[in-house]
């Protein structure tokens, strides 16, 4: 029985895409917490030692190997900070944040080139604008999302990622072009709809539809290099974000669990890139939000002629 449970754990890790979504979105539900599935090996190891079962101990190598293959690389050291072409911060600041000025200062202290924020609401928006103005003279806000930049912005426009059934005025996406020292990049900031765990399973239809619209926008983007920053309400393993993860690179190093602040269980705040590499991602200390900020180093922006 212990050996069978170990083999089942390994199979769920290695073949999670085979778990169907037809009943309660079981596949996506598993993928949201996929890294935590490896913890099943701990009690199995204890029971195997208690039972002195050589077969179970050997079988436990299967989930350990599967977990290491999927997630072990995230723990490898990243590149030196001074080798990054850009440093970016992504943060859902929360519309209930009682200290927007302190939050803005904490993000700026990390020294990023770009800061993407979601859940920007008046009057807190004015506080972010004032606090970040000195170090980030260029910024763009559309709806409840915004981008602050050390480099000039142009071509800013609202990004329509509103799923069907959502009322007018729901504006959670923007696209702009950043004139960086390494050339122009298209920066996307997005806040996808929330998911909910209910008795009937994972409710993610609106999130999935919005992710599809965002993926189509990225696919149609004429600028070669694209960086996406946002609260995507999903992990990079969640198949609901496949319209994005199939087109963009995700972080090669770092776990950076970002939600909820009190006990982070998953990274739903993402930095992705096209024609560039998200070399490393990590969290920053808690602010007044229920999300932790994430900071990522971007490489691969240099052009051959630059």
| Pair 138, 95 in one domain | yes
* Final residue belonging to a domain, choices 59, 75, 91: 75
Output the pLDDT for position 304. 45
| Pair 148, 6 in one domain | no
| Pair 46, 90 in one domain | no
CATH label of the domain that carries residue 115: 3.60.10.10
Q: Which residues are registered as beta bridge partners of 274?
A: 226
Output the pLDDT for position 201. 84
Output the pLDDT for position 306. 42
Output the pLDDT for position 303. 55
Q: Dihedral of the CA atoms 75, 105, 159, 270 (nearest 10)?
A: 10
Output the pLDDT for position 305. 47
Q: How many domains does the chain have?
A: 2
| Pair 44, 146 in one domain | no
| Pair 130, 196 in one domain | yes
Q: What is the pLDDT along the chain (306 residues), one digit of tens a residue?
A: 999 999 999 999 999 999 998 888 999 999 999 999 999 999 999 999 998 889 999 999 999 999 999 999 999 887 777 789 999 999 999 999 999 999 999 999 999 999 999 999 999 999 999 999 999 999 999 999 999 999 999 999 999 999 998 888 899 999 999 999 999 999 999 999 999 888 778 899 999 999 999 999 999 999 999 999 999 999 999 999 999 999 999 999 999 999 999 999 999 999 999 999 999 999 999 999 999 999 999 999 975 444
| Pair 168, 63 in one domain | no
Output the pLDDT for position 77. 84
Residue 176 in domain: yes
Output the pLDDT for position 289. 98
| Pair 67, 106 in one domain | no
User: How does strand 114-118 pair with strand 86-92?
Assistant: parallel
| Pair 100, 195 in one domain | yes
Q: Dihedral of the CA atoms 119, 120, 123, 126 (nearest 10)?
A: 160
| Pair 59, 142 in one domain | no
* Final residue belonging to a domain, choices 75, 90, 107: 75
| Pair 157, 62 in one domain | no
H or E stretch including 1? none
| Pair 69, 89 in one domain | no
Show the DSSP H helices in 22-117 as ranges.
Answer: 26-32, 41-51, 54-59, 61-71, 100-109
Output the pLDDT for position 118. 98
- Structural domain including 282 reads 81-299
Residue 112 in domain: yes
Output the pLDDT for position 268. 97
Residue 306 in domain: no
Residue 304 in domain: no
Residue 6 in domain: yes
Q: What is the pTM of this model?
A: 0.93
Residue 197 in domain: yes
Residue 163 in domain: yes
Distance CA(106)–CA(81), nearest Å, equals 18
Residue 305 in domain: no
| Pair 159, 283 in one domain | yes
Cβ count within 10 A of residue 195: 22
* Final residue belonging to a domain, choices 75, 103, 121: 75
Name the nearest CA neighbour of 243 among 142, 159, 161. 161
């Amino acid at each position: 029985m212990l050996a069978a449970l170990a083999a089942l754990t390994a199979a769920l890790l290695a073949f999670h895409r085979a778990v169907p979504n037809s009943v309660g979105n079981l596949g996506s539900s598993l993928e949201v917490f996929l890294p935590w599935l490896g913890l099943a090996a701990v009690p199995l190891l204890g029971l195997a030692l208690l039972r002195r079962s050589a077969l179970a101990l050997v079988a436990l190598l299967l989930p350990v190997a599967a977990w290491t293959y999927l997630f072990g690389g995230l723990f490898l050291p990243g590149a030196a900070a001074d080798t990054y072409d850009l440093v970016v911060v992504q943060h859902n600041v929360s519309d209930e944040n009682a200290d927007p000025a302190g939050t803005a200062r904490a993000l700026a202290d990390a020294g990023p080139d770009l800061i993407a924020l979601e859940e920007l609401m008046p009057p807190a928006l004015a506080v972010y604008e004032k606090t970040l103005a000195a170090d980030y003279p260029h910024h763009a806000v559309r709806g409840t999302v915004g981008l602050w930049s050390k480099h000039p912005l142009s071509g800013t426009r609202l990004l329509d990622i509103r799923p069907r059934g959502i009322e007018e005025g729901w504006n959670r996406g923007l696209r702009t072009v950043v004139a960086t020292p390494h050339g122009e990049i298209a920066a996307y900031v997005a806040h996808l709809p929330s998911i909910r765990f209910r008795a009937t399973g994972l409710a993610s239809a609106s999130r999935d539809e919005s992710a599809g619209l965002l993926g189509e926008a990225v696919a149609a983007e004429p600028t070669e290099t694209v960086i996406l920053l946002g609260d995507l309400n999903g992990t990079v393993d969640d198949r609901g974000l496949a319209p994005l993860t199939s087109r963009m690179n995700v972080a090669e190093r770092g776990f950076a669990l970002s939600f909820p602040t009190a006990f982070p269980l998953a990274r739903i705040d993402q930095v992705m890139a096209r024609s560039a590499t998200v070399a490393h991602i990590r969290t920053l200390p808690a602010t007044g939000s229920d999300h932790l900020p994430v900071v990522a180093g971007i490489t691969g922006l240099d052009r051959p002629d630059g």
